[in-house]
Amino acid sequence: MTGDLFGKASSSADAPRLTQWSPADWPTQPDWQPALDAFWRSAQGVSLATFVQSRLDAGAVIYPKHPLWALQLTPLSQVKVVILGQDPYHGPHQAQGLSFSVAPGVKIPPSLRNIFKELQRDLNQPAPQSGSLEAWAKRGVLLLNTCLTVEDGQPACHAKRGWEHLTDALLGEVARAAPACVYMLWGGHAQAKAELIERETAAQPAGFVGLREDGVAKREALVLKANHPSPLSALRPPVPFIGCGHFSQAKTWLAQRNLSLDWNL
């Protein structure tokens, strides 16, 4: 039994969960499919499938129900911002398949509450009453965890089982496809992806933003780094999350490139 997620006690028994390993049945936008297909065929993809299915067979309660939900709400062609998380929430009814987000009616977790506090401070917006970030996802904010499944009450237990190979590939797809994209990297785990993002952004000429010295069109990335919004680190140096100004920086940078993003929830 866990505490008051819906204003009442709830347990893992009635929580939405992954019931079988069946990626073909997980909804995603078509433009993500080539990267997904390549991963499922890879040795890492096969190993991950074997591991997760073995845990399901053993009776493990695994969240979320739809591990690739972020790729359904945000097409590759529409990504403007990436907010990178680590792994899904591990409590009942929490994980949605979107980094930091919880379903409407679910108690807002502490890290998300700090995200809302910074959003309110930075953009002078009303504090959201719901923890759902689906509206952001539908406007082009890719809410991606680096590991996409977790077991009930066991944080990071599926880390380094293969998901990271897929999510690195997805970050590479965004970096190569988006003419201009903001990456919000909060905490050391997310910031470790900065080199990958910068390398892949520069890898192939494309898009409409700017020119390289040789006159070829290039992509642009704004990589923003701060501490994780967890209460343990949100106010600590070197870059406290509270006060980082990432939302206004993203809004201004995108506007300079004729791209808009509404952060209201």
Q: Give 13 or 143, the one with higher predicted confidence.
A: 143
Mean confidence (pLDDT) of the chain = 91
Over residues 144-183, the pLDDT tens digits come to 999 999 999 999 999 999 999 999 999 999 999 999 999 9
Q: How many CA atoms lie within 13 A of 88 on its CB side?
A: 30
Query: Has residue 265 been placed in a domain?
Result: no
Query: Has residue 12 been placed in a domain?
Result: no
At 14 the pLDDT is: 83
By annotation, the residues acting in catalysis are: 87
The whole-angstrom separation of Cα 166 and Cα 174 is 13
How many domains does one find in the chain? 1
Query: Has residue 145 been placed in a domain?
Result: yes
pLDDT exceeds 50 at position 245: yes
The whole-angstrom separation of Cα 249 and Cα 247 is 5
Over residues 7-25, the pLDDT tens digits come to 334 567 788 999 999 999 9
CB contact at 8 A, 167 and 146: yes
Q: Which region holds residue 216: left if phi is over 0, alpha if psi is between -120 and 50, else beta?
A: beta
Query: Has residue 89 been placed in a domain?
Result: yes
At 10 the pLDDT is: 55
Residue among 186, 175, 181, 180 nearest 225 (CA): 186
Query: Has residue 11 been placed in a domain?
Result: no
At 120 the pLDDT is: 98
pLDDT exceeds 80 at position 48: yes
Query: Has residue 263 been placed in a domain?
Result: no
Query: Has residue 15 been placed in a domain?
Result: no
Q: How many CB atoms lie within 10 A of CB 233?
A: 19
- Which residues neighbour 65 within 8 Å (Cβ) at sequence distance 6 or greater? 16, 17, 18, 19, 97
Instruction: Identify the CATH number of the domain in which residue 191 sits.
Output: 3.40.470.10
Over residues 176-217, the pLDDT tens digits come to 999 999 999 999 999 999 999 999 998 755 444 444 444 445
Query: Has residue 97 been placed in a domain?
Result: yes
The whole-angstrom separation of Cα 265 and Cα 132 is 8
For the entire predicted model, the pTM comes to 0.91
Q: What is the average pLDDT across 56-64? A: 98
Tell me which residue range forms the domain holding 30: 23-204+218-256
The whole-angstrom separation of Cα 176 and Cα 207 is 9
| Residue carrying the six token digits 């890492």 | 44
The whole-angstrom separation of Cα 199 and Cα 171 is 11
At 205 the pLDDT is: 53
Secondary structure of the chain: what % helix, strand, coil (to 5)?
35, 15, 50
The whole-angstrom separation of Cα 40 and Cα 84 is 22
